[in-house]
Amino acid sequence: MASSPQPLSTAINKPQQAQRAAVLAIGTANPANCVPQDEYVDWYFRVTKSDHLTKLKAKMKRICYNSGIKQRYFYHTEDTIRDHPEFIDSALPSLGARQAILASAVPELTAAAATRAIAEWGRPAGDVTHLVFATSSDAHMPGADLRLASLLGLRSSVQRTMVYFHGCSSGSAALRVAMDTAENNHGARVLAACAELTVNVFREAREDRCWNFSVVQKVENKRRRNG
């Protein structure tokens, strides 16, 4: 004997128990340029041509000493700064040049980390059904999510979501969206990707704008905490 079917309205309104999301793999990556902490202040003031600001340099050394950071990774190098003097001269426009660098640098760095995560997961990249990408660095359209999907060989049908300009909370926002997606889409396999590069905030040292190097300091602190 079969039970009588429920009315359609009852079936629709019946609460559904969501599947629980789980982290299946994690991958990280850093830019190639590594500056030891004990060399960072000298490096920064040299490349920004700010060695004459001795008091400001001493202040930054104290900040770095108390930060607990051992080394810093940057995409930009001395050659980058030399080729783009507008990066260390606030009177010159620099947004276009910065974004031109980030357009390829952000998805490429993210692809390196995502490749490690997918390898640890142990399944083909084509099995990824959803991509959530968070960054406050790149601002192109189409975005870094499309470029990343291409670099990883994701299916053209992968559902992509960009989380732009959430600042220090962008990683948390991406994980929140990824969790909601995984729990509410049966069989979903979500890749959450987060990347930040300080090319877009790197500035010269100035005594009347101490936040110029404080911003770099804070962003780098966040990067180290997030791995």
Q: Residue 224 — φ and ψ, nearest 5°? A: -70, -35
Burial pattern 183-213, b for ≥16 Cβ within 10 A else e, equals beeeebebbbbbbbbbbbbbbbbeeeeeebb
Cβ atoms 223, 197 nearer than 8 A: no
Calpha distance 71→34 (Å, rounded): 7
Give the angle 68-224-211 at the CA atoms, nearest 5°: 75
- From the candidates 34, 64, 168, 210, give the one annotated as an active-site residue: 168
Instruction: Count the neighbouring beta carbons within 10 Å of the beta carbon of residue 15.
Output: 5
Catalytic: 168? yes
76 by DSSP, 3-state: which?
coil
- Characterize the bridge pairing of strands 159-164 and 71-74: unpaired
**Token pair belonging to 106:** 């952000």
Residues annotated catalytic, as ranges: 168
